[in-house]
């Protein structure tokens, strides 16, 4: 403003004689405007600085979790691109899918082979492109470090490492042959990974004061297919030695006497537990080094085993955070904030069980990958109902790669439609939904094949959810032709609820039917959240409430006030 006053005075002195009052006022207005814009610009620059963007972090309160971004609970409405899509040349095929989905967060890999093409020389150009384009598209990023492990192998290590297999060895299987999986006892590989991941975190710390990147995935589905553990001499020596006391203590494991080795301590689970510990210990060192530089939340994703435990290794990937070894990972890798299931099991019994297994008092639930077939789309609500901090279908881009049969055969707007509906509904109120979940006020239910109804309980109110009904009249629900129904209900007050969903009918009843009282819809408002406040656009009544609250394929959010008579 002082500068502005000088300019005005100077202008008057030099041009005063020639200018009428109107002209003078016009110039003053223009200068004031420019000053306002400059201060606006300054505000924007300031907003881009880290002091206005506290570090994203996982917060726990009363056994519930939230991912805080910019200081408030944030819900990841995610999309993960295909494995080879995070190259600048492919990004034009990625953004349109993310936009169509209305994702607020994109999960993209950082490839070690690209990031460190020569030992000790780091190439930040691709990461910088991801940051710049994410900002242009106003989405956050979760970066996936494809380092030592990618799906149990190490196919993303740089060429200079692949050319030195003696130095960066694979595991040895029970029969003495190499297995296509990196040895968690390979110290040179570990040191190289620590250096590379640290370089990445150091770069993000300075290049991303805006906190475009909100979380890091350390490795990808680490562990091993085809061998329960490493049988190399280095691994064997540790397997035969005493189990570390910290692990036994952390697991609250009572041992009879002395220092048991793995076999003595864990019997038939010994080899599997040993491998989980070996991999977790390796990854802990990478995550700890990265966090010491830049403490973003970090997670490890897991390839799963049958949640009803009907299979045994090596039929699933061992070493990773399968449900049976979560406690080992928790004790061994404290720098990892959460263990996250990649869910490609379409059946609702399995899917819901997995959500339950990873939603634990010591683990925030996050679904970083799930199938791209639209059948999986409803599980976004199931994840919400388990207080998930985020959800992300896999392979969400138009590069023409599709991972059928675990995903859909083609990614098109049509195939993405039911996923897009989720984010269309929740996107405008993701902060409110994340907060309600953090406060333990939200529940959700999804349709299961062969089960035409579901229910949710909120104290004296029972919510019934029916599938496959028309919107008028009362009859027995047949279920939808495909199980697409989904709904969330959040309690705002004793008798006040927020409800949103698709392909179902929702009705409220008094749980205590014996009281002789009936439920009355006092007021049902359809609206949306703006700046944290619910604004009603219309009131539902008549056909829209007489038979219950019907949700079709339109994104609709209701605030429901209940009474009794």
Which is closer to ligand DGJ, CB of 153 or CB of 232? Answer: 153
Which is closer to ligand DGJ, CB of 262 or CB of 394? Answer: 394
Which is closer to ligand DGJ, CB of 151 or CB of 224? Answer: 151
DSSP 350-382: HHHHHHHHH-BTTB---EEEE--SGGGTTHHHH
- Tokens 């082979």 correspond to 113
Helix residue ranges, H only, 176-316: 187-207, 233-240, 245-250, 262-266, 270-293
Which is closer to ligand DGJ, CB of 221 or CB of 432? Answer: 221
- Tokens 């830049």 correspond to 294
CB atoms within 10 A of CB 335: 17
Question: Which positions lie near ligand DGJ, rule CB under 6 A?
Answer: 83, 151, 220-221, 342, 369, 394, 403
| Residue 295 CB, nearest approach to ligand DGJ (Å) | 24
Parallel, antiparallel, or unpaired: how do β-strands 213-220 and 178-182 relate?
unpaired
Residue 534's beta-bridge partner residues? 529
| Residue 553 CB, nearest approach to ligand DGJ (Å) | 28
Which is closer to ligand DGJ, CB of 69 or CB of 326? Answer: 326
Which is closer to ligand DGJ, CB of 116 or CB of 221? Answer: 221
Q: Dihedral of CA 93/96/97/99: which sign?
A: positive
DSSP-derived 3-state class of residue 284: helix
Q: CA 218, CA 221: separation in Å to the nearest integer?
A: 9
Helix (H) or strand (E) holding 58: strand 57-61
Q: In sequence order, which residues have a C-beta less than 8 Å from that of residue 305 and are 6 or more positions away?
A: 311, 315, 316, 322, 323, 324
| Residue 301 CB, nearest approach to ligand DGJ (Å) | 6
Which is closer to ligand DGJ, CB of 82 or CB of 278? Answer: 82
- Is residue 490 within 8 A of residue 433, CB to CB? The reply is yes
| Residue 383 CB, nearest approach to ligand DGJ (Å) | 17
| Residue 289 CB, nearest approach to ligand DGJ (Å) | 23
The CB-nearest residue to ligand DGJ is 403
Distance of CA 461 to the CA centre of its chain: 31
| Residue 563 CB, nearest approach to ligand DGJ (Å) | 49
Which is closer to ligand DGJ, CB of 391 or CB of 497? Answer: 391
Q: CA 537, CA 544: separation in Å to the nearest integer?
A: 15
Q: CA 147, CA 154: separation in Å to the nearest integer?
A: 7
| Residue 374 CB, nearest approach to ligand DGJ (Å) | 17
| Residue 375 CB, nearest approach to ligand DGJ (Å) | 16
């Amino acid at each position: 403003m002082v500068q502005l006053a000088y300019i005005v005075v100077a202008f008057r002195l030099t041009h005063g004689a020639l200018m009428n009052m109107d002209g003078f006022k016009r110039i003053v207005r223009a200068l004031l405007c420019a000053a306002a814009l400059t201060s606006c610009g300054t505000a924007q620059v300031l907003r881009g600085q880290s002091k206005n963007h506290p570090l994203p972090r996982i917060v726990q309160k009363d056994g519930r979790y939230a991912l805080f971004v910019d200081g408030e609970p944030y819900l990841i409405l995610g999309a993960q691109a295909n494995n080879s899509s995070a190259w600048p040349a492919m990004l034009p095929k990625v953004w349109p899918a993310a936009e169509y989905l209305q994702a607020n967060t994109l999960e993209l890999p950082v490839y070690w082979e690209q990031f460190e093409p020569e030992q000790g020389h780091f190439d930040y150009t691709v990461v910088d492109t991801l940051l710049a384009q994410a900002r242009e598209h106003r989405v956050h990023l979760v970066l996936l470090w494809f380092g030592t492990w990618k799906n149990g192998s190490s196919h993303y290590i740089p060429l200079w490492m692949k050319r030195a297999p003696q130095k960066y060895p694979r595991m040895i299987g029970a029969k003495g042959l190499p297995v296509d999986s990196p040895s968690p006892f390979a110290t040179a590989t570990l040191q190289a990974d620590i250096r590379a991941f640290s370089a990445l975190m150091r770069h993000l710390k300075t290049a991303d004061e805006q906190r475009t990147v909100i979380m890091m995935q350390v490795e990808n589905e680490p562990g091993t297919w085809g061998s329960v553990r490493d049988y190399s001499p280095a691994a064997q020596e540790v397997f035969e030695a005493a189990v570390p006391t910290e692990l036994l203590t952390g697991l609250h494991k009572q041992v009879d006497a002395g220092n048991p080795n793995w076999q003595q301590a864990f019997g038939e689970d010994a080899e599997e537990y040993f491998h989980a510990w070996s991999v977790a210990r390796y990854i802990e060192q990478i995550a700890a080094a990265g966090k010491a530089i830049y403490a973003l939340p970090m997670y490890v994703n897991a390839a799963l085993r049958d949640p009803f435990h009907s299979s045994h290794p090596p039929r699933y990937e061992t070493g990773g955070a399968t449900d049976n070894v979560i406690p080992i990972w928790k004790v061994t890798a404290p720098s990892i904030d959460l263990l996250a299931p990649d869910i490609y099991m379409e059946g609702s019994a399995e899917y819901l069980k997995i959500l339950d297994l990873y939603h634990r008092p010591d683990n925030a639930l996050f679904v970083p990958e799930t199938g791209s077939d639209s059948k999986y789309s409803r599980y976004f609500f199931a994840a919400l109902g388990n207080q998930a901090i985020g959800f992300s279908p896999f392979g969400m881009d138009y590069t023409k790669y599709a991972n059928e049969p675990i995903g859909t055969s083609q990614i098109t707007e049509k195939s993405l439609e039911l996923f897009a509906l989720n984010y269309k509904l929740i996107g405008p109120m993701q902060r409110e939904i994340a907060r309600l979940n953090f406060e333990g006020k939200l529940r959700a239910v999804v349709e299961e094949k062969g089960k035409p109804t579901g229910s949710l309980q909120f104290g004296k109110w029972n919510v019934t959810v029916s599938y496959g009904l028309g919107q008028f009249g009362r009859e027995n629900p047949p279920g939808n032709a495909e199980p697409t129904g989904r709904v969330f209900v959040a309690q705002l007050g004793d008798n006040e609820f927020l409800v949103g969903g698709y392909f179902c009918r929702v009705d409220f009843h008094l749980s205590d039917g014996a009281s002789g009282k009936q439920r009355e819809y006092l007021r049902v408002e359809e609206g949306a959240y703006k700046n944290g406040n619910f604004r009603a656009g219309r009131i539902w009544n008549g056909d829209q409430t007489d038979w219950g609250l019907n949700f079709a394929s339109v994104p609709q959010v209701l605030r429901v006030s209940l009474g009794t008579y």
